[in-house]
Structure 1
Amino acid sequence: MKKIIAGLIGVSIFLTSCATVQTKIGEVAMKFMTTKEKDLSKISAIGMYQSNMYSTETGITLGSKAEWDEGQNSVGVQLLKPDGAVGFINLDGTVTVGGQTATNFGGGVYMVMFEASDNSPKTVKVESSDGTVTEFKMTPAPSLRIKSINGTLDDAEIDMTQPLEIELEYDEAAKGKRVRVALITKAVGVKGFAFFQSAQIAEKITIHPDAFKHKHINGGSPTGKDVTNWSLGDNYLQVSIVEDDRTNDGQPFSYFKRTSTSFDTKPVTLSGEVEGRSYITAKDKIDAPNGTFSYLVNASNAWYARPLNTNIERIGIASVSVEGVLYKQESDSKTSETDYGAYKVISTTTTTTTWQFPQLDDTYWDQFLENIYADLTGMLRDEYGASVVDVDKITANPIYDEFYLPNDANTEKYISKNLRDTKRLYPSSFGEILGDRKTSLIADADPMPRLLRDMDLDAIMTLAIDYRVAADKDDKIVLLPLVSYKVVGQTQAFDGQANTWLQGTIEGPGVSFSREEFSDLNALNRIGQKDRILDLIRQSVDEMTSRQDEFGYDHVWEVALSN
């Protein structure tokens, strides 16, 4: 079997979100993003065991040059910058695998190639120049083999307008595992294997043609259409098992994970045209007695986003908040001029208008949040059959303490309250965003994916309501609502990562009120338009579900969830 010079798989980074085009790092850029480091506590490490490497004739070349034979096994480690930074580590020290010195392929990757017949466990040893030494054992994932593609392996063809049937053979240890199915995609200067369907391993897997619309490597246009394309003609179908082990075992690294992957990759001829999606949008305007409301909802493609009507078993409402500017003052100046012949008199009249929503005791806002939470819980349970985990159980989890402290205020001009002990789950300031940056390969260490894994949740929902005091057409004081909600959950990979399934905004007019209404602790239900907000959340999610059906999300997730 001839050897071919090519780059090593895995030397890559998502520069923005997981749903963007995977960018190959050129040697110049890679050097710019690489830092030399000897302190292992300042390094993130991912142990890697990749079995049955694909042929480099696929043309997938990343980073610096590497050499391997098709079918060989590669074992080693990738060293990355820690949380708060993006890039790679060039170790000031040495890495050995099974007693052999690992080659530095660039991009923080240190690997040793082993023959296909050698799939035994390997010990990876990392030794820093400061004398610190650590080691860990890597074991291979169960092997699998593609038996046929649409009934054959000889000149196999895949028409993306037709179902894809894959027959597999696999080790006994692979039973119950999940496989990922990929083909080669391309964009300008970019080429890589893109997943488009996952499934529980079986001797025969049938994939609906809608799955080809939803690649894990994609790029979004303003319409949500995927601007990357499948490589038509000569291509390769790849089926893989990926196993992650996040057991730390006392490793000195700031982050540590073992990832074992077994591949099988076969040449195919790819044909057919599909309109791929990066995301989809649902929007509408709704007339109400007090004016017109509007909503806008976005959802990632079906690799990343699971529709809410797919038998969600466990969902948690992890943050509910209300914020509002309750005071506004505007001044309008008019100038007049009077001519008295020998002189002129210039007069300026300034009119100041003040809008002030009453400052209420905390108990009103707390009750309003409780009512919102109760109704939202009922909607998720009754509309989608989901088991809603109590918010107190979520906030009691130690991982939850790592989220952002919310602003708590109640003044004449401003209100900011959160439901019970809930916090703010996402960064808002530039400093928080900067401190939260990291290479996507280690993003599973963030609080959100860890909370999902630790509590065995399918998804987490958040809701924030922002009010602004204003005047209606009759010049009466109202609160204008701007509502934001988000649902985050696991992708089709079911690998413990978290991704946004959908996020929406709702805005509209306010309703006038009288001070007598505040004799009722639930007065904010009507004044804050609780029922209208919940109805529009329900309506916008239902519309998004219909849009997802148009693009085959239901077909994709039926395969992903089948046992």
Structure 2
Amino acid sequence: MTKKFYLLLICTLTLSVGANAQFGKLKGMLGGKKDTTKTAEADSNKKVEKEKGGGNFFSKAIIKVAKASSGLVMSATGMLVTTDDLNSVTPMVSSSVNLAPASVGTAEMSFFNGWKSNGNLTTVFFTQKGKMGIAKVDGNVMINGRPADYVSTGIYLAFTENNGKPASVEITTKSGQKANFTVPLIPSTVKIKSINGQTGDNVTADLTKDMVIEFEKLPGSENIPMRANIVITQIGIRAFYPVANFKGADKLVIPAAAFRNINITPGGKALYSFKNCYLSIDRYQPLKTTNVSGVIPPLDFTGLATDGRYLTLTGEPALNLGLTAKGEEKFAAGEVEYNFFKPNAFLSRPFGQLKNMGIMSFSVRGTTYVQGKSSKSSSSYSVGSTTYTTTTTTSTWATFPKVSDDVWAGLLDNLYSDFTTAATQELQASLVPVTAVTGAEAYRDMEPYSKDDETTNVSFFHNYKDTKMLSAYLPLAEGFSANSGTMRLLKQTGTQGMMKFTFDLQIAIEKGNPVMIPKLAFEILGAKNGDLFDTKFCSATLVGKGVRFPSGNITVADMQKIIRQSDLLATFRKGLQEIKAKETANGDYNVVWALQ
């Protein structure tokens, strides 16, 4: 197991129970269950607790192993550190009211000790400041005057009764640093009155049809945003999967399109089971810690309240795994393969929302040396009674000549003009000046993370003007924030999408000849879905057949041929046209996004 697996597990299980985290593969928010007062309802509750959910042995075993070993693995890789300096950490807090019953049996219920059905949960998750890592406090973390339960990977939590009281947090390190703050509860709650006209704790539903949910009228809650989630099982692991976000209301209509587009892994093909299905509805609201003193400043987070019901299904949705447009175009210089992908409607906004776009990064990079295959040949001759053998080893290699900075700048100017024009024309959107993006405060905040990913090995790297290639490994507190760098950048530039272009040139030897293989990686980032989930309008990869190159004195015109600019451009336009047509034919994207 890799450190990325543990990081995914931690963020999924820890922060999914609150509301201040987001992840491309986040499994959603906790459900809840209505308060019951009638004897008949109480008896029904006991029956449901006994019969439903629970999670299987395989699921519990996986979580147990991950919980036991994740801290050791992450410590060994530097992802987890122990510190007595609170200035080196950025805490992330969450607050959840009216937790789902333990009988639902999701992964987080096994990961955390002492799950409290219908109770409240407060978590404090320590991340490394300015780094993609987590931290354990060398000292004490108290919640409501008692030691918080430490869950091995920077997570401290406490379950409490649902009594309307906020949680007080007190942190003291061995170096003497202190921090105190209060984590308030969301003031708005949610209580389901009926689903499709049915009351009680177990509802029959057909997820291929629209679902109507009515709520008890609670003053002050009707305008608070809401989110629907559903518990399903993938490879034996039960988890909450968000269905859709909604405007606040006393009545929701969840369209069948939303159930087809729940927040599953983009492109994921693993089987999902809807057995023992559970539906939860969240109200969520941005909050801030209060009564703050000591080293840690006030913290923004999202408070959450839930209610839920078990569903007996008579119909299951056909899940949208995402849309793909791919193929191969023929040109005089050789073929160009393309693959465009648009996630389902939960994680991807409709192209029609794009009015203004910006360029987040625009780069060309590549390798200049390659070692080819070695071959051996032998020859023998004899002198008298002695035979002599000579073995010759022949190695091949290729190098790409040095190219001046002026040539790279000229190439980038041409690429920028052609590809941004194509994108704006095909998507019917305007482009803000690149200086509007690079001059934004949010962009400057992200520049410290502009180094290339540690796993990438390149010989040259050039950016268009002042753009930067931002690392995929942002600090957790930045990447999981409801007000992330991308969100701030979109707001500050008045755009709905940020484009990223990366052109790669990979040197290779084909049939004994040195060639450069051109590649293009492209994506358009959008604003979050609700408060949590990043969206992406689409992503694409284009790869062309390698072409020969001059041995020296390379000009801008030469580079345009080497990178196969005109061929990539024509294929890029075709791919955008096809993926747009796929979205239109699907029909779900506008339906899902009209809910907000």
For the superposition of Structure 1 and Structure 2, which TM-score range results when normalised by the shorter chain?
0.7 to 0.9
SS at match of 1:291: coil
Partner of 1:410: none
Q: Whole-Å Cα distance in 2 between the matches of residues 214 and 176 of structure 1?
A: 25
Deviates more, 1:417-426 or 1:536-545: 536-545
Query: Which of 10, 19, 42 is matched with 2:25 structurally?
Result: 19
Query: Is the CA contact (8 Å cut-off) linking 2:180 and 2:293 kept in structure 1?
Result: no
SS at match of 1:379: helix
Partner of 2:212: 165
Partner of 1:366: 409
Count of equivalent residues: 525
- What amino acid maps onto 1:310 in structure 2? G
Deviation at 1:320, TM superposition (A): 1.2
Say whether residues 1:465 and 2:537 are aligned partners. no
Q: Whole-Å Cα distance in 2 between the matches of residues 162 and 286 of structure 1?
A: 40
* Cα deviations by residue, 1:4-34 (Å, 9 ceiling, x for unpaired): xxxxx995379x9642768878466535556
Say whether residues 1:45 and 2:81 are aligned partners. no
Say whether residues 1:235 and 2:277 are aligned partners. yes
Deviation at 1:460, TM superposition (A): 2.5
SS at match of 1:241: strand
Partner of 2:52: none
Change (3 A) 1:358 1:236: closer
Query: Is the CA contact (8 Å cut-off) linking 1:328 and 1:356 kept in structure 2?
Result: yes
Deviation at 1:386, TM superposition (A): 3.1
SS at match of 2:191: strand
Partner of 2:196: 150
Partner of 2:34: none
Instruction: Calculate the TM-score normalised by the size of structure 2.
Output: 0.72
Query: Is the CA contact (8 Å cut-off) linking 1:86 and 1:439 kept in structure 2?
Result: no
Partner of 1:388: 431
Say whether residues 1:303 and 2:351 are aligned partners. no
Deviates more, 1:351-360 or 1:253-262: 351-360
* Cα deviations by residue, 1:59-106 (Å, 9 ceiling, x for unpaired): 443334436463x5x263423343556667477325244xx5476374
Partner of 1:530: 565
Deviates more, 1:53-62 or 1:336-345: 336-345
Q: Whole-Å Cα distance in 2 between the matches of residues 322 and 82 of structure 1?
A: 31
- What amino acid maps onto 1:504 in structure 2? A
What pairs up with 1:406-417 in 2 under 5 angstroms? Answer: 415-417=460-462
SS at match of 1:240: strand
Q: Whole-Å Cα distance in 2 between the matches of residues 415 and 405 of structure 1?
A: 13
Partner of 2:40: none
Structure number with the higher strand fraction is 1
Deviation at 1:533, TM superposition (A): 1.6
What pairs up with 1:250-265 in 2 under 5 angstroms? Answer: 252-253=295-296, 256-265=299-308
Q: Whole-Å Cα distance in 2 between the matches of residues 378 and 288 of structure 1?
A: 22
* Cα deviations by residue, 1:301-341 (Å, 9 ceiling, x for unpaired): 4322334x231244321111112445668698785859799
Partner of 2:357: 315
Q: Whole-Å Cα distance in 2 between the matches of residues 101 and 274 of structure 1?
A: 45
Deviation at 1:549, TM superposition (A): 5.5
Change (3 A) 1:176 1:367: farther
Gaps of 5+ in 1: 1-8, 408-412, 428-432
Partner of 2:519: 482
Say whether residues 1:493 and 2:543 are aligned partners. no
Change (3 A) 1:459 1:174: farther
- What amino acid maps onto 1:19 in structure 2? K
Change (3 A) 1:150 1:102: farther
What pairs up with 1:351-362 in 2 under 5 angstroms? Answer: 359-362=402-405
Query: Is the CA contact (8 Å cut-off) linking 1:244 and 1:259 kept in structure 2?
Result: yes
Q: Whole-Å Cα distance in 2 between the matches of residues 32 and 415 of structure 1?
A: 39
Partner of 2:5: none
Say whether residues 1:225 and 2:269 are aligned partners. yes
Say whether residues 1:507 and 2:550 are aligned partners. no
SS at match of 2:592: helix
Q: Whole-Å Cα distance in 1 between the matches of residues 508 and 121 of structure 2?
A: 63
Deviation at 1:195, TM superposition (A): 0.8
Query: Is the CA contact (8 Å cut-off) linking 1:48 and 1:77 kept in structure 2?
Result: yes
Query: Is the CA contact (8 Å cut-off) linking 1:323 and 1:466 kept in structure 2?
Result: yes
Partner of 2:114: 66
- What amino acid maps onto 2:14 in structure 1? S
Partner of 1:6: none
Change (3 A) 1:201 1:328: same
- What amino acid maps onto 2:539 in structure 1? Q
Partner of 2:450: 404
Query: Is the CA contact (8 Å cut-off) linking 1:225 and 1:279 kept in structure 2?
Result: no
Deviation at 1:264, TM superposition (A): 2.2
Deviation at 1:239, TM superposition (A): 1.2
Query: Is the CA contact (8 Å cut-off) linking 1:395 and 1:401 kept in structure 2?
Result: no
Query: Is the CA contact (8 Å cut-off) linking 2:381 and 2:387 kept in structure 1?
Result: yes
- What amino acid maps onto 1:421 in structure 2? D
Change (3 A) 1:512 1:136: same
Change (3 A) 1:138 1:420: same
Query: Is the CA contact (8 Å cut-off) linking 2:149 and 2:156 kept in structure 1?
Result: yes
Partner of 1:540: 575
Query: Which of 249, 261, 274 is matched with 1:214 structurally?
Result: 261
Partner of 1:104: 149
- What amino acid maps onto 2:25 in structure 1? A
SS at match of 1:483: strand
Say whether residues 1:286 and 2:333 are aligned partners. no
Partner of 1:555: 588
Change (3 A) 1:403 1:219: closer
Deviation at 1:465, TM superposition (A): 1.3
Deviation at 1:294, TM superposition (A): 0.7
Query: Is the CA contact (8 Å cut-off) linking 1:101 and 1:112 kept in structure 2?
Result: no
Partner of 1:196: 243
Say whether residues 1:92 and 2:139 are aligned partners. yes
* Cα deviations by residue, 1:360-402 (Å, 9 ceiling, x for unpaired): 4322221221222223332333222334333222222321322
Query: Is the CA contact (8 Å cut-off) linking 1:319 and 1:424 kept in structure 2?
Result: yes
Say whether residues 1:426 and 2:428 are aligned partners. no
Structure number with the higher helix fraction is 2
Say whether residues 1:138 and 2:184 are aligned partners. yes
SS at match of 1:302: coil
Deviation at 1:159, TM superposition (A): 0.8
Query: Is the CA contact (8 Å cut-off) linking 2:141 and 2:148 kept in structure 1?
Result: no
* Cα deviations by residue, 1:395-419 (Å, 9 ceiling, x for unpaired): 2232132222469xxxxx9653211
Q: Whole-Å Cα distance in 2 between the matches of residues 508 and 295 of structure 1?
A: 9
Change (3 A) 1:123 1:351: closer
- What amino acid maps onto 1:492 in structure 2? N
SS at match of 1:153: coil
Deviation at 1:260, TM superposition (A): 0.4
Tell me the C-alpha RMSD between the 2 structures. 4.6
Deviation at 1:240, TM superposition (A): 0.8
Change (3 A) 1:96 1:105: same
Q: Whole-Å Cα distance in 2 between the matches of residues 104 and 20 of structure 1?
A: 23
Query: Is the CA contact (8 Å cut-off) linking 2:370 and 2:398 kept in structure 1?
Result: yes
* Cα deviations by residue, 1:122-141 (Å, 9 ceiling, x for unpaired): 65444456351322452415
Report % sequence identity: 20
Q: Whole-Å Cα distance in 2 between the matches of residues 314 and 386 of structure 1?
A: 5
Q: Whole-Å Cα distance in 1 between the matches of residues 434 and 289 of structure 2?
A: 28
* Cα deviations by residue, 1:404-441 (Å, 9 ceiling, x for unpaired): 2469xxxxx965321112222225xxxxx6xx685999
Q: Whole-Å Cα distance in 2 between the matches of residues 345 and 63 of structure 1?
A: 71
Change (3 A) 1:334 1:94: closer
* Cα deviations by residue, 1:268-304 (Å, 9 ceiling, x for unpaired): 3223233435555432111122222111234444322
Change (3 A) 1:421 1:64: closer
